[in-house]
Structure 1
Amino acid sequence: MIEIIIGMILLAIIAVAILPALWQGIQYSSQQSATATATRELNSLIEGIRENPDCGQIGTATSAHTFTDGSGATITSAGSYSACPATSRTVTISLTATDAGGYVLATLKAIVYVP
């Protein structure tokens, strides 16, 4: 009986030693999930512009958007772009996604040809 109790105590000590690493892994996984969601959303905005490359679409995509990741956290995207062309030329677009605390999750820069 004493051997079983000693074995349980040893298992408890090992479990307590592993717990911080497990908790840190869960937090890191959650952060990476939010970064992946932000990157996916920014890429979606750029692809929307490339499907319909006009100044109105660029202005809409670079205005503030909010969306949620898998854990329900709110992510906000906003951006800027170089002047809209009077004639056919390229426009440089910059988008940034931040979480509710202001931490930058993803930044994307793209060049789009506007006919």
Structure 2
Amino acid sequence: MRSSIAIQASGLIKIFGGDRAVDGLDLTVPAGVVHGFLGPNGAGKTTTIRMLSTLLRPDGGTATVFGHDVVNEADAVRGRISLTGQFVSTDEQLTGVENLVLVARLLGHSWR
């Protein structure tokens, strides 16, 4: 059964040295919703995305993506998401949609 919650985070923490890049983040994103992260440089946006996509291990709290724990079920999380960077593209002229299609096709997904 598909979860109606795409992302659930509770008390998420990431510390670099003595600096808390993410300090107790609580977040719920329903499935089928586009969610944006806005804030100034250093606010923890990229760090949060890196934790939710299993690229960084949280130092505290919990997070799930489609019901799968980002720490204990990282392979399951990665099997259900795709991540592309803001500036990572083989062609700088690609639109956002074209970039997403390119990454999806490189990962073996059909057009559908």
Does the alignment reach a TM-score above 0.5? no
TM norm structure 2: 0.28
Structure of larger gyration radius: 1
Larger % of helix: which?
A: 1
